[in-house]
Chain A
Amino acid sequence: MKTKILYIFALVALALSACGGGTPAGGQNPSQEGSGETPAIVRVGWAGSPDTLNPGMAVLSESYTIFELVYDSMYELNMDGTFTLTLAESAAVSDDGLVWTFKIRDGVAFHDGQPLTAKDVVFSYNLYQSTEDYPWMGGYTSYFESIEATDANEVVITLSEAIPNIESQLVFLYVLPEHVWGSEDAVEFDNVSMIGSGPFKMVEYAQNEFVQLAANKDHFFSPPKVDEVIFQTFENNDALVQAIKTGQVDMITEMPATAVETLKTEDAVEVFVGAPLAPTVTDIIFNQVLPENCPEGDGVCTGHPALLDRNFRLALAHATDKQKIIDIIYLGNASPGLTLIPDGLGVWYNDSLADYEFDLAKAAQILDDNGYVDADGDGVRDMPDGSRSLTLRVNWPSDSVDGPRLAELLSEMWGELGIKTELQSMDPDALTAVCCPAFDFDVMLWGWGSDPDPNLLLSVMTSAEIPTGSSETGYSNAEYDELYGQQAVEANFEKRQELVWKMQEIVHNDVVYIIPYYDPNIQAYRSDRFTGWITGEAKLEFSDPSSLTLIEPVK
């Protein structure tokens, strides 16, 4: 009987393997036989795909990864957070800080052979500024009063006010060829042939499948050493991890934290954790809008009154075990957060601040000292006047992967302190509706994406942003607002850095947010394929031109 059942199994197996297609098993990549003759093709696995190749319309970071490789812009963002002039050989600014003159390098050419001149730069910047349908470009071009080409190689930008961060305004403004874009509809153009001037040129693009790029060996600044880079989309993380394990790809740009330990045991795979090129911050938001600041019309302002008290927020900070959160959510692979300015911003991150240590006894003491005691004996502390128990609503966006775990952990930690939490995830739009400027919540778990420049994140905590909906806390501090205005026009780097650090100190002292961690970038490459990847800097991004133009095949 046993043998017969086995026989059936064997038959099924046989039938399946026979039907599996006429080709032999063992589908190795054509590039795997690395003899001297075959081209050096870097295969990159990622879980996403560009949403569009039109730089004005793109939202996803995958699109920007491709833009960085195929286009040039005035500056390049380095892995330590500084900028290098690339397309321009020199930049000069007038004494009042309003007029910038850029000298474009000689002999720069687009991939179709046409020269790149000042006219293309002016055309691109004007396109970004004038196309209202471009969702993000308005922010980068809002200070431009006029952009002119004074000769073939000179671009003069006149600003409406002096700003300290022209680099971060220009770094994502990719220079497009006027002879291609001039005749296209700025919004509808899908730009799949993607003529740029960068270190790589577009070969073939299949959305949600792959992006194939070839090296532009004549690039003026950083000609790649490899011949091709192919980005392949894997829709699930297990496949991504499996692909690098088995050598189907040479590098992966993301992976779940749970895969880190297994991948580290692979001989030929190197795993690195670092701050992303465009850092993101996860924040625990306290609704602390004062009644007099409640926005007229939009404001509901139902925050728990205890959250207005700095001492209460301080107790919550002491009761939050950041290391435990990191250990559970990222299995230890993330750095603890401090202020809204993440460590990935390098020089702007104030690392001199001491965080509030995790100390439940101290937290309890602070609450006791300030009268937050359990007056009615129900196990939950109450307001000093006994009017309300300390029960906080905690909300997070339903599309957040880490939200539920973070909420559970906070509920547990704060629960030990005698603070009750009501956890509920909300649809992102519903969350936006209660968030700001409505201020119809107590605690929210959300996050921010960041520019390379700290200006955007600093603006979030100013009083001016309370009615606009950008301020999620309703925090208002005249001194902070004053400093924000100063740093926004301070052209001297050291002075501005000092202002930015001081601002972080203020919001840290006021416990405006609790920042549990800074989201890490976890990437891996195969050490038996290519060498020369950039590691050990403040930021980590193997798919950035800085790595992809440097790496070469392992001999």
Chain B
Amino acid sequence: MPDSGIALLSFREDILLNRFQNLIRRIGWAVLTIAFVIVLNFFLFRILPGDPARAGVHDPRLKKDAVEAIRVRFGLDKPVINCFDSLNPVKFGNCGVNPLETQFFIYVRNLFIGEMGFSYHTNRPVTEILAERLWNTVLLIGAGQILSVIIGVVFGIAAAWKARTNIDYGALTVSLLVWSLPTFWLGIILLFWGSANGFPIGGKATPGMSSMPLSVRWGDIAEHMILPTITYTLVYMGEYMLIMRSSLLDVLSEDYILTAKAKGLSTFQILRDHALKNAMLPLVTVIAINLGFTVAGAIQIESVFSWPGLGLSIFEAVNRRDFPVLQGAFLLIAVAVIAANLIADLTYTYLDPRVKME
């Protein structure tokens, strides 16, 4: 008997050790992926057509000296990497360049000290622009995600529990409908409707309110959030509802639910104690992955409602070919998606012990 006790203990240690190793391995992979993105991101924007020095000033007829001055200011006069002066068009240069003097090295070194260069368009540091915009996006997406998850889950549960009734059909129809609506179209429709009903339709606050008390300003921001948040919620709640419904239907067909019913538990008890925990699992993954992607996915909503978030930054940067801002935004999105995936992985194994980390 004592033997088995020791065996049990070492078995537990094994699991813990195993978990720890796996955690390290997953984080290692995430870091590797990010490193790959960093390299890809650099070369991607140097292969793209268009001379960035010209893109910044947006007049192809600028005099040659001025263009050269801009190139020097943004470090574009340096070779891209050893042997290559330019990737678009490919221009071979000197292979004996000091590697520390190449654009690639400077880019990587700057990233490590948290610098992403300067915007061609506004001449401001990219980190400053992105940091300022990121919070606006987090605010909008945070509100939209919470609402769409709540509404999606509630309707998903109702639809699954009342499967093949009119409630189910109604919820299904609504979900499929809103899920398939084009985001910008829905946004424009709401913009027309909202502006006719007195909702603000542009920006995150009424300009010129900075001297007002904080509560008034927050109220003003909340008012500006209404239309974009409704758009976001409508677009995403359909997806959550559909996943919740089908996942819960799966669980409800399990034998142990039948057992629970046989024990005489109420509907509420069955849902809360037996069905929902299991049914939530697929949703967690989708939400986590969506969170990563929606940093970029808000481009349409933000540009319809002039919401000064990250998506709008991307939209503006594409229009103006502001490559440093795009490069920074892409990196940020890539890191967000990778991080969200990692978190989803880790949460999943925690929530569902059946899924072992392999």
Give A contacts to B, CB under 8 Å: 1, 4-5, 7-9, 12, 15-16, 19-23, 25-30, 41, 43, 45, 51-52, 54, 57, 59, 132-133, 135-136, 138-139, 187-188, 190, 203-204, 206-212, 228, 230-236, 238-239, 242-243, 245-246, 248, 427-432, 435, 449, 469-470
Residues in chain B near residue A230, CB distance under 8 A: 207-208
Q: Do B222 and A59 touch (CB < 8 A)?
A: no
B13 within 8 A of A: no
B170 to A, closest residue via Cβ: A8
**Known contacts A208-B308, A232-B207, A243-B195: A429-B201 contact under CB 8 Å:** no
Q: Give the one of A25, A243, A429 with max B CB within 10 A.
A: A429
Most chain B Cβ neighbours within 10 Å, of A15, A187, A231: A15
Which residues of chain B (200-244) have a CB below 8 Å from chain A? 200-204, 206-210, 219-220, 222-226, 229-230, 233-234
Contacts of B63 in A (CB 8 A): 138-139
Q: When the two chains form their complex, are residues B166 and A5 in contact, meaning their CB atoms are under 8 A apart?
A: yes
Bound-state CA distance A222–B44 (Å) is: 52
Q: Which residues of chain A have C-beta atoms less than 8 A from B312's C-beta?
A: 208, 235
Whether B18 sits at the interface, judged by CB under 8 Å, is: no
Bound CA–CA A390/B194 (angstroms): 54
Query: Which of B50, B202, B308 gathers most chain A CB within 10 Å?
Result: B202
What's the minimum C-beta distance from B63 to chain A, rounded to whole angstroms? 7
Interface pair A233/B50, CB less than 8 Å apart: no
The smallest beta-carbon distance between A202 and chain B, in angstroms, is 12
Q: Residues of B contacting A188 with CB < 8 Å?
A: 123
Q: Is the CB of A210 within 8 A of B170?
A: no
B65 within 8 A of A: yes
Whether B171 sits at the interface, judged by CB under 8 Å, is yes
Nearest-neighbor residue (CB-CB) of B207 within chain A: A210
How many residues of chain B are within 8 Å of chain A by beta carbon?
69
Return the CB mask of B39-58 against A: 1 if under 8 Å, else 0: 00000000001110011011
Give chain B residues whose Cβ lies under 8 Å from the Cβ of A430. 49
- B116 CB-CB contact with A under 8 Å: no
What residues of chain B have their CB less than 8 Å away from a CB belonging to chain A? 49-51, 54-55, 57-63, 65-66, 69-70, 73, 121-124, 147, 151, 155, 166-167, 169-171, 173-174, 188, 191-192, 195-204, 206-210, 219-220, 222-226, 229-230, 233-234, 302-306, 308, 312, 315-316
Contact yes or no, A20 B229, CB < 8 A? yes
B174-A29 in contact (CB<8A): no
Does A5 lie within 8 Å of B202, measured CB to CB? no
Determine the distance from Cα of A28 to Cα of B198 in the docked complex, in whole angstroms: 6
B60 touching A431, Cβ below 8 Å: yes
Q: Does the CB pair A51–B202 fall under 8 Å?
A: no
Query: Contact between A12 and B151 (Cβ–Cβ < 8 Å)?
Result: yes
Q: A19-B233, A243-B201 are in contact. Are A432 and B60 (CB under 8 A)?
A: yes
The reply to whether A236 and B303 form a contact with Cβ atoms under 8 Å apart is: yes
- B90 CB → nearest A CB, Å: 15
A212–B69 Cα distance when bound, in Å, is 33
CB distance B192 to A242 under 8 Å? yes
Given A52-B122, A187-B73, answer yes or no on A228-B208 (Cβ-Cβ < 8 Å): yes
B53 nearest in chain A by CB position: A429
Nearest CB of B to A309, in Å: 27
- Chain A residues with Cβ below 8 Å from B303 are 235-236
Instruction: Please state if A212 and B195 are interface contacts (CB–CB under 8 Å).
Output: no
Question: Which of chain A's residues has its CB closest to B225's CB?
Answer: A21
Chain A residues in 8 Å Cβ range of B151: 12, 15-16
Contact in complex: A212, B49 (CB < 8 Å): no
Separation in Å of the B298 CB from the closest CB of chain A?
13
> Known contacts being A4-B166, A429-B51, A432-B54, is A19 close to B147, with CB within 8 Å?
yes
With A243-B195, A427-B49, A429-B50 already in contact, the answer to whether A233 and B203 are too (CB < 8 A) is yes
Q: What are the residues of chain A within 8 A of B196 when measuring CB–CB?
A: 246
B222/A21 in contact, CB under 8 A:
yes
Interfacial chain A residues near B207, Cβ < 8 Å = 43, 204, 206, 209-212, 230-232
In the complex, A210→B297 CA distance in Å? 24
Q: Which residue of A lies closest to B319 (CB)?
A: A399
Contact status A132-B65, CB under 8 Å: yes
Tell which of B200, B201, B306 touches A233, judged by Cβ atoms closer than 8 Å: B306
A121 to B110, CA, bound (A): 39
A245 interface neighbour in B169, B170, B195, B199, Cβ under 8 Å: B195
- A236 & B222 in contact (Cβ 8 Å cutoff): no
Cα separation A4 to B168 with both chains bound (whole Å): 10
A206 to B225, CA, bound (A): 18
Q: B50: which A residues are within 8 A, CB to CB? A: 427-429
Closest to B88 in A: A429
Starting from the known contacts A138-B66, A204-B207, 4 additional A-B residue pairs (CB-CB under 8 Å) come to A21-B222, A190-B124, A429-B55, A470-B61
| Between-chain CB contacts (< 8 Å), 24 pairs | A8-B170, A15-B151, A20-B230, A26-B197, A27-B206, A43-B207, A133-B69, A133-B70, A133-B73, A135-B57, A135-B66, A136-B66, A207-B122, A209-B207, A210-B207, A239-B195, A243-B195, A246-B195, A246-B196, A248-B200, A248-B202, A429-B49, A429-B54, A432-B60
- In the complex, A238→B306 CA distance in Å? 11
Within the complex, the shortest CB–CB distance from B77 to chain A, in Å, comes to 13
Q: Which of B57, B173, B198, B234 has the most CB of A within 10 A?
A: B198
Contact B60 A429 (CB under 8 A): yes
Cross-chain contact B202 with A25 (CB below 8 angstroms): no
Q: How many Å lie between the Cα of A203 and that of B208 in the bound state? A: 9
Known interface pairs A5-B173, A432-B54. Does A27 touch B122 (Cβ–Cβ under 8 Å)? no
- Write out the residue numbers on chain A whose beta carbons fall within 8 Å of the beta carbon of B219: 22-23
Determine the distance from Cα of A330 to Cα of B170 in the docked complex, in whole angstroms.
Answer: 46
- Chain A residues lying within 8 Å of B171, measured Cβ to Cβ, are 8
Separation of A211 and B208 alpha carbons in the complex (Å): 9
Contacts of A43 in B (CB 8 A): 207
Neighbour of A9 across the interface among B58, B73, B174, B195, CB < 8 A: B174
